[in-house]
Amino acid sequence: MTLSSNPEMKIFTGNANPALARDICSYLKVPLGDATVTSFPDGETFVKINDNIRGRDVFIIQPTCPPTNQNLMELLIMVDAARRASAARITAVLPFFGYARQDRKDQPRVPITAKLVANLLVAAGVNRVLTMDLHAQQLQGFFDIPVDHLHAMPVMVEHIRSMGIENLIVVSPDVGGVKMASAYASALDTRIAIVVKQRKSATETEASHIIGEVAGKNILIVDDLTETAGTITSAARILRKHGALDIYAGISHTILTDLAVERLRDSDLKELISTNSVPARLTTGSRVTSLSVAELLGEGIRRIHDDESVSSLFEVKQTK
């Protein structure tokens, strides 16, 4: 959907990650829109948009992180409120897209929930989606509306370069992450290795062997998401056994459960580098560094509003 003119931009947020929304507004030098988003005593969500948004270009920032269902319902109801208030266009900004791992039927009689969520967003009145580091690229095809898919890699690579880590190798913690690891390796001008794993349960994985030479190397494990930290801590353990030196992890989204915090505290990881796509859970001993993606998402919002290309945001600046 292209706007016939350039109406005023209005940005709102639910309760999922208001700090990120404020940082985005600070980057864009626009005020955060006034909206009441609360719950009735029985748990039902209530939304009231207090600003006039008739004919405005509305952006609603709401990652669907835990509590996932609550945050998703807030987003859907905010979109419905904006549509009924005659917004010219509604863009759902999801720094983290929940339910993304339920993207196929891998067992009999199970849903494809990621597609259901896409349908719900469109049905509520979303005209466009801006998101970051989807668990699977093909999720963009679940939407019948435009999807702008950003990547945290430029932000992560800039930080990792600033650390001055020598003799670095990028490691994919499983075979499915090879494409992402290759992109990081290319940006950092190094090579990759792969950890082969077996999933034992929903919360536990076991690394079995390594493809590539890691002895005497510093390691960067890259992945899009960790929730229980089972995959990355298991990978770090086998990398250490094979002679790796300092082991870092670069993860786009960290949905850290109590089990994850415990595993990270007792792991072979020196540092976990992530983003503030979801509220950071920085606890003593967890060794987590959170990088801001407010500028990246803010620039994406600005370019969508101005009908400019967002593809250049994928580029990693080259070193001199």
Same domain flag for 88 and 188: no
Please report the DSSP string for 12-52 in residue order: EE-SS-HHHHHHHHHHHT-PBP-EEEEE-TTS-EEEEE-S-
User: What phi and psi, each to the nearest 5 degrees, are found at residue 306?
Assistant: -90, 10
Which candidate in 48, 105, 197, 320 is catalytic? Answer: 197
Other C-beta atoms within 10 Å of 19: how many? Answer: 13
Same domain flag for 97 and 165: no
Report residue 139's pLDDT band, with 50, 70 and 90 as the boundaries.
confident
Other C-beta atoms within 10 Å of 18: how many? Answer: 15
Longest Cα pair distance anywhere in the chain, in angstroms?
61
Q: What is the CATH number of the domain that holds 134?
A: 3.40.50.2020
Same domain flag for 102 and 13: yes
Question: How far apart are the C-alpha atoms of 55 and 180, rounded to whole Å?
Answer: 40
| Residue 243 backbone class (left: φ over 0; alpha: ψ -120 to 50; beta: rest) | left
Is 197 one of the annotated active-site residues of the chain? Answer: yes
* Helix or strand run (H / E) with residue 179: helix 178-187
pLDDT value of residue 5: 67
Same domain flag for 217 and 304: no
Same domain flag for 229 and 245: yes
Q: List, for residues 96-105, the tens digit of each pLDDT value.
A: 999 998 988 9
Question: How far apart are the C-alpha atoms of 314 and 170, rounded to whole Å?
Answer: 19
Please give the structure tokens belonging to residue 186: 């290319």
- Residues making up the chain, counted from first to last: 320
Question: Closest Cα partner for 131 from 116, 151, 105, 108?
Answer: 151
Q: What angle do CA 297, 136, 200 make, to 5 degrees?
A: 125
Same domain flag for 166 and 247: yes
Q: List, for residues 43-69, the tens digit of each pLDDT value.
A: 999 999 999 999 999 999 999 999 999
Question: How far apart are the C-alpha atoms of 11 and 291, rounded to whole Å?
Answer: 22
Same domain flag for 33 and 165: no
Same domain flag for 89 and 176: no
Q: Are 207 and 237 in contact (CB under 8 A)?
A: yes
261 belongs to a structural domain = yes
Report residue 201's pLDDT band, with 50, 70 and 90 as the boundaries.
low
Q: Are 108 and 75 in contact (CB under 8 A)?
A: no
8-state DSSP, 98: T
Please give the structure tokens belonging to residue 266: 């007792």
Strand partners, 183: none
Same domain flag for 27 and 64: yes
Q: List, for residues 146-190, the tens digit of each pLDDT value.
A: 999 999 999 999 999 999 999 999 999 988 889 999 999 999 999
Domain count along the chain: 2
Strand partners, 13: 61
Instruction: Please give the residue range of the domain that contains residue 57.
Output: 9-150+295-313
User: What phi and psi, each to the nearest 5 degrees, are found at residue 101?
Assistant: -80, -15
4 belongs to a structural domain = no
Q: List, for residues 5-42, the tens digit of each pLDDT value.
A: 679 999 999 999 999 999 999 999 999 999 999 999 99
159 belongs to a structural domain = yes
Same domain flag for 256 and 304: no
165 belongs to a structural domain = yes
Same domain flag for 249 and 124: no
